């Protein structure tokens, strides 16, 4: 809704100003002791807030959209970076800078304008999760955080970690899949990487915003303990591993109350139970009240233009004056914000616009992420890797002649070189549809210089089949564009692409399907195609990454962070709740499956998916030996040896699953840990996986503890969630209790 309004003022697009990088912040003068870097962030925040007038404190808790928002505003607030997400004026009197906010998780985004800033985009969040490599997630975060800093931003609204409860969720591409341990770890590392640039990041969208349909109104119900073991655990782990400066509360209601005024979520779970010391910012348009929101834990209203009222403006001032919100609570709100600014180095390392970005270097980070995140789903008869000597290659569909797809909405990053396929629908929010100009076709041709490579756009399946019949191998590129605020209407690929693939596969038995999708899709043609590659949205170097995997310059090592269902009928909700045509209607989404999300649901119901969680093939093979476990310093260690038994180098993702033999869990097994191991042919490595203790317990909401039941547990080491290459061992665990933060109680 919001950005098509923005196109009305597109003509106002300002040129991106260039200047030089800032020098260091000034040393602390005696009258500004909070600028003394030797003091703790807590102390500095305390001193700074003490020096503020009430009016000054109030300014920190009231955020603006960084872009004009007609009809409410026809030009952006002074000081905001053009076409940015957010702005909060700083306090020059106290030496505290503005907060300059940009989306989001794959890079520095631009709100819709014909003149966007051009930046490096990582592959989608789900692609990063598919790498199963926290170091890759960190490196990607560090790269996009550096671009944020060089673009003048000191807050990045990244850190999306909503669990994939439904493969049709329109924002799955921004998140990290269905498992709380994997998602929390990967997103936690990405956020840590961003913050290594002295840029505050968020963890979002807190909480349970797991579908876009009716996102502003729907009301989530879920057993509290189950949410602590699923969605909330992912957020908790991401926060622990990143120490994020901020959390963004979500649009939806939970237990009848909007997330941004929800005492249980904000005060009890986040601030009290988890000890979160940062600040809670609302999502843009997610604030609904003044007194209730402030008292129930919201620290800042964001993008106030999106809300019905400037709730944290004059109304909050009045509420404080009249005692409905205490002065102490206002102090707490301001303290949390400036504390994050001190803790993350935002005050001591001022940003300026116009820094020099090394696009070649950053493109390599994006490419490395794509190469590790692309998942080889199927490879019968070793159709892949392609030989360099192949004579004719038919490349079909997906605009593979010019680029690779990206996902839509507020997180949209615009590439250097511009949109490779301009003009596609939807052109307005959550569009435009953007293809990054990294051409798979050109990169394929570069890797097979002697081959004849022909392209067919795939719009006529019969013609494409004729082209495929003439070639040694046919590569069909299939796309699913998805964007924020819209869920996919089904798991089917749009635009007749299933027919296209079916026809091409019928004409050429050596057909390889390359998918560029936001999340899982159905594959009615899968039995006919010997090879399938899931490339997700592969970022600004995606075409190169895809080509390198196809030809074996890179051995694929991505594994699915989410189950690919055989059909919607297998899902907890075969039909999504709510009506996309009536977004303002309130309805309940009852997550009856509780903590049995994704593969846990499939296991519990005995369903066979199309491709299981954790699945991913390689051009080599691996074997496991010497599986053993040991409890050391209160932690369960799982040790084993991985060997590359094939004849090319590759990376394996050995996965440890745990199943209780006596205790009762929400599902037969949980992912307990993994590693990503690079091995030369014939090489072996010893691996030690340390199990996160919360994964072994059940949460008890009454006592707020995690209870690990005494008894036997089976540890399964496998190459995927379906038990490929599985070997197992049984361990006896004593009863133990962990506190709400997962620490062993003596
Ligand atoms: C999204 C957030 C985003 C914000 C600011 C909202 O529409 O839900 O994820 O950070 O806009 O652009």
Q: Residue range 696-709: average pLDDT?
A: 98
Angle formed by the axes of helices 359-373 and 542-550, nearest 10°: 40
| CA atoms of 645 and 642, how far apart (whole Å) | 9
Task: For a ligand 1 pocket test, name from 64, 83, 104, 203 the mutation site with the most ligand atoms within 8 angstroms of its C-beta.
Answer: 104
283 noted as active-site residue: yes
* Pocket flag, ligand 1, residue 153 (CB < 6 Å): no
Q: Is the pLDDT of residue 28 over 80?
A: no
Residue of the nearest CA to atom 3 in ligand 1? 410
* Pocket flag, ligand 1, residue 258 (CB < 6 Å): no
Residue of the nearest CA to atom 2 in ligand 1? 283
* Pocket flag, ligand 1, residue 96 (CB < 6 Å): no
Question: How far is ligand 1, taken at its centre, from the CA of residue 441, in Å?
Answer: 34
pLDDT digits (tens, 9 = 90+) for 183-210: 999 999 999 999 999 999 999 999 999 9
| CA atoms of 561 and 563, how far apart (whole Å) | 7
Q: Is the pLDDT of residue 3 over 60?
A: no
* pLDDT of res. 25: 55
Single out the catalytic residue among 283, 307, 401, 720.
283
pLDDT digits (tens, 9 = 90+) for 381-437: 999 999 989 999 999 999 999 999 999 999 999 999 999 999 999 999 999 999 999
The residue with greater pLDDT, 28 or 611, is 611
* pLDDT of res. 313: 97
Q: Is the pLDDT of residue 622 over 70?
A: yes
Question: How far is ligand 1, taken at its centre, from the CA of residue 283, in Å?
Answer: 6
Q: In which band, very low, low, confident or very high, does the pLDDT at 29 lie, cut at 50, 70 and 90? A: confident
Residue of the nearest CA to atom 11 in ligand 1? 284
Q: Is the pLDDT of residue 20 over 70?
A: no
* Pocket flag, ligand 1, residue 85 (CB < 6 Å): yes
- Tell which residue, 217, 213, 195, has the closest CA to residue 345: 195
| CA atoms of 558 and 376, how far apart (whole Å) | 7
Q: Residue range 485-489: average pLDDT?
A: 95
Residue 387 neighbours by CB under 8 Å, 6+ apart: none
Peptide bond into 577 cis (omega under 30): no
The 10 Å Cβ neighbour count of residue 442 is 18
* pLDDT of res. 132: 98
CA distances from 626 to 411, 658, 686, 717 (A): 45, 17, 9, 11
Sheet holding 452-456, edge to edge: 375-379, 531-534, 511-516, 473-479, 392-396, 452-456
Q: Are 319 and 290 in contact (CB under 8 A)?
A: yes
pLDDT digits (tens, 9 = 90+) for 264-276: 999 999 999 999 9
* Pocket flag, ligand 1, residue 286 (CB < 6 Å): no
| Percentage of residues in the chain having pLDDT higher than 70 | 96
Task: For a ligand 1 pocket test, name from 2, 86, 157, 173 the mutation site with the most ligand atoms within 8 angstroms of its C-beta.
Answer: 157
pLDDT digits (tens, 9 = 90+) for 303-312: 999 999 999 9
Question: How far is ligand 1, taken at its centre, from the CA of residue 249, in Å?
Answer: 10
* pLDDT of res. 590: 98
SS3 content of the chain, % helix, strand, coil (to 5): 30, 20, 50
- Mean pLDDT computed over every residue of the chain: 95
CA distances from 423 to 114, 390, 419, 535, 738 (A): 12, 35, 9, 23, 55
* Torsion angle of the four alpha carbons 522, 527, 529, 531, in this order, in degrees rounded to the nearest 10: 80
Q: In which band, very low, low, confident or very high, does the pLDDT at 114 lie, cut at 50, 70 and 90? A: confident
Q: Is the pLDDT of residue 160 over 50?
A: yes
CA distances from 598 to 65, 91, 167, 694, 724 (A): 36, 47, 9, 19, 18
Residue of the nearest CA to atom 6 in ligand 1? 284
In the DSSP assignment, the letter for residue 483 is B
What are the structural domains, with CATH classification, of the chain?
13-22+41-343 (3.20.20.300), 364-570 (3.40.50.1700), 620-738 (2.60.40.10)
pTM (whole model) above 0.75: yes
Q: Is the dihedral of CA 181, 187, 188, 190 positive or negative?
A: positive
* Pocket flag, ligand 1, residue 305 (CB < 6 Å): no
* Pocket flag, ligand 1, residue 283 (CB < 6 Å): yes
Question: How far is ligand 1, taken at its centre, from the CA of residue 303, in Å?
Answer: 9
| CA atoms of 662 and 667, how far apart (whole Å) | 13
* pLDDT of res. 11: 30
Q: Residue range 442-464: average pLDDT?
A: 98
* pLDDT of res. 21: 36
* Pocket flag, ligand 1, residue 498 (CB < 6 Å): no
């Amino acid at each position: 809704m919001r950005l098509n309004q923005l196109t009305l003022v597109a003509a106002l697009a300002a040129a991106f100003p260039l200047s030089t990088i800032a020098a260091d912040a000034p040393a602390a003068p005696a009258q500004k002791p909070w600028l003394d870097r030797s003091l703790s962030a807590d102390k500095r925040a305390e001193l700074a807030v003490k020096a503020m007038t009430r009016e000054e404190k109030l300014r920190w808790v009231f955020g603006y959209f960084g872009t004009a928002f007609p009809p409410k505003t026809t030009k952006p607030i002074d000081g905001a970076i053009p076409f940015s997400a957010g702005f909060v004026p700083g306090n020059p009197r106290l030496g505290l800078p503005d907060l300059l906010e940009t989306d989001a998780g794959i890079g520095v985004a631009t709100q819709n304008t014909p003149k966007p800033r051009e930046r490096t985009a990582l592959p989608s969040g789900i692609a990063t999760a598919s790498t199963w490599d926290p170091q890759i997630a960190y490196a990607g975060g560090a790269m996009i955080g550096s671009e944020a800093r060089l673009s003048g931003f000191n807050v990045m609204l990244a850190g999306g970690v909503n669990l994939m409860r439904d493969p049709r969720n329109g924002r799955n591409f921004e998140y990290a899949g269905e498992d709380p341990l994997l998602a929390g770890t990967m997103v936690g590392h990405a956020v840590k990487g961003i913050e290594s640039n002295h840029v505050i990041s968020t963890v979002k969208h807190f909480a349970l915003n797991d579908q876009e349909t009716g996102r502003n109104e729907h009301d989530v119900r879920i057993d509290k303990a189950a949410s602590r073991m699923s969605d909330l655990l992912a957020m908790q782990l991401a926060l622990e591993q990143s120490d994020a400066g901020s959390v963004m509360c979500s649009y939806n209601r939970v237990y009848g109350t909007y997330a941004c005024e929800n005492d249980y979520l904000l005060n009890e779970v986040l601030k009290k139970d988890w000890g979160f010391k940062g600040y809670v910012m609302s999502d843009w348009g997610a604030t609904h009240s003044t007194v209730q929101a402030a008292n129930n834990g919201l620290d800042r209203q964001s993008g106030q233009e999106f809300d019905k009222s400037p709730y944290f403006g004059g109304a909050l001032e009045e509420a404080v004056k009249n005692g409905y919100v205490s002065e102490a609570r206002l102090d707490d709100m301001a303290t949390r914000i400036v504390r994050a600014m001190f803790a993350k180095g935002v005050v001591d390392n001022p940003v300026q616009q116009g820094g020099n970005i090394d696009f070649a270097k950053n493109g390599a980070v994006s490419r490395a992420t794509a190469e590790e995140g692309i998942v080889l789903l199927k490879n019968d008869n070793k159709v892949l890797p392609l030989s360099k000597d192949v004579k004719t290659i038919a490349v079909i569909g997906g605009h593979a002649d010019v680029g690779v797809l990206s996902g839509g909405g507020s997180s949209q990053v615009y590439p250097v070189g511009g949109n490779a396929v301009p003009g596609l629908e939807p052109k307005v929010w959550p569009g435009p549809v953007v293809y990054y100009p990294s051409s798979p076709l050109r990169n394929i041709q570069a890797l097979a210089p002697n081959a004849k490579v022909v392209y067919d756009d795939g719009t006529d399946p019969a013609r494409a089949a004729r082209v495929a019949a003439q070639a040694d191998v046919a590569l069909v590129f299939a796309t699913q564009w998805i964007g924020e605020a819209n869920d996919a209407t089904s798991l089917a690929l749009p635009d007749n692409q299933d027919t296209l693939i079916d026809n091409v596969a019928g004409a050429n038995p050596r057909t390889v399907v390359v998918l560029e999708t936001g999340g899982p899709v159905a594959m009615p043609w899968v039995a006919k195609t010997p090879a399938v590659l899931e490339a997700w949205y592969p970022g600004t170097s995606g075409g190169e990454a895809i080509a390198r995997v196809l030809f074996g310059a890179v051995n694929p090592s991505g594994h699915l962070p989410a189950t690919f269902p055989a059909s919607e009928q297998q899902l907890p909700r075969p039909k999504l709740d709510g009506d996309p045509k009536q977004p303002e209607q309130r309805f309940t989404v009852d997550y009856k499956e509780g903590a049995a999300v994704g593969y846990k649901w499939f296991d519990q119901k005995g369903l066979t998916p199309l491709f299981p969680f954790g699945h991913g093939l390689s051009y080599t093979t691996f074997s496991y030996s010497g599986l053993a476990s040991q409890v050391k310093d209160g932690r369960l260690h799982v040790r084993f040896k991985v060997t590359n038994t094939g004849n090319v180098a590759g990376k394996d993702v050995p996965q440890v699953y745990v199943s209780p033999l006596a205790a009762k869990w929400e599902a037969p097994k949980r992912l307990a840990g993994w590693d990503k191991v690079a091995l030369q042919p014939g090489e072996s490595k010893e691996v030690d996986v340390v199990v996160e203790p919360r994964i072994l317990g059940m949460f008890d909401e009454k006592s707020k503890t995690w209870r690990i039941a005494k008894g036997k547990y089976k540890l399964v080491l496998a190459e995927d969630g379906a038990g490929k290459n599985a070997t197992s061992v049984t361990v006896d665990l004593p009863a133990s209790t962990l506190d709400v933060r997962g620490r062993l109680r003596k």
